[in-house]
Amino acid sequence: MKKILYYSAILISCVLLTQSGVVAQVKHKPVLNHIALYVFNLEKSTRFYRDVLELEITPEPFNDGKHTWFKIGDYSQLHLIEGAKQITPHEKSSHICFSVKSVKEFIVLLDKYKIDRINMKGDSKSPTIRPDGVSQIYFQDPDGYWIEVNDAKL
């Protein structure tokens, strides 16, 4: 009788754990861990992402002077890796995007750092207004990577 109760308890525990998601986590969806950008001048790029985008630097394991890591979300990071031989052109359609409370306020910060911005069409400095009402602007980092900033509600 004790064996039946013991095995019943184990079976019930396994069912409850599976239903609660503890065991089901094996089948979880992928979560963005990091985005890595290969940069020409790490110091200049680090200043840009720290000062202009106000990203928080987080410890990185290499400690070799060729990496800077930034926290960009609860579970995600932006990794800058020095070593690019030159700055190369990039298409605006390939970009990373950050949302802010106010695009207008962010434009003031871009102006402070004398960073040019454009709309999606590339014909104006005024923000593009998407069909869903979100304002967006685009600009480039020191290596020419495109960045979108918008006011999408998260």
Angle among Cα 69, 119, 90 to the nearest 5 degrees reads: 50
Tell me the mean pLDDT in the region 1-30.
52
- Position 26 scores a pLDDT of 61
Question: Cα dist. 2→5, 6, 8, 9, 10 in Å?
Answer: 5, 6, 10, 11, 12
- Position 12 scores a pLDDT of 47
Q: 86-119, pLDDT tens digit by residue? A: 999 999 999 999 999 999 999 999 999 999 999 9
- Position 94 scores a pLDDT of 97
Q: Beta strands 146-150 and 135-140: pairing type?
A: antiparallel
- Among 86, 109, 128, the domain boundary falls at 86
Question: What pTM value is reported for the model?
Answer: 0.81
Residue 96 and residue 148: Cα distance in Å, rounded?
A: 6
If asked whether residues 100 and 78 sit together in one domain, one would say no
Q: 46-93, pLDDT tens digit by residue? A: 999 999 999 999 999 999 999 999 999 999 999 999 999 999 999 999
If asked whether residues 81 and 99 sit together in one domain, one would say no
Per the model's pLDDT, the better-predicted residue between 2 and 141 turns out to be 141
Tell me the mean pLDDT in the region 16-38.
73
Question: Cα dist. 4→8, 22, 36 in Å?
Answer: 6, 25, 54
Question: What is the number of domains present in the chain?
Answer: 2
Task: Confirm whether 139 is domain-assigned.
Answer: yes
- Position 5 scores a pLDDT of 41
Helices (H), 54-130: 103-112
Q: Which residue is listed with tokens 């410890």? A: 59
Residue 29 and residue 12: Cα distance in Å, rounded?
A: 26
Indicate the burial class of 62 (C-beta count within 10 angstroms; 0-12, 13-18, 19 or more).
exposed
If asked whether residues 72 and 119 sit together in one domain, one would say no
Supply the range of the domain harboring residue 131: 95-150
User: Binning pLDDT at 50, 70 and 90, where does residue 27 land?
Assistant: confident
Q: What is the CATH number of the domain that holds 141?
A: 3.10.180.10
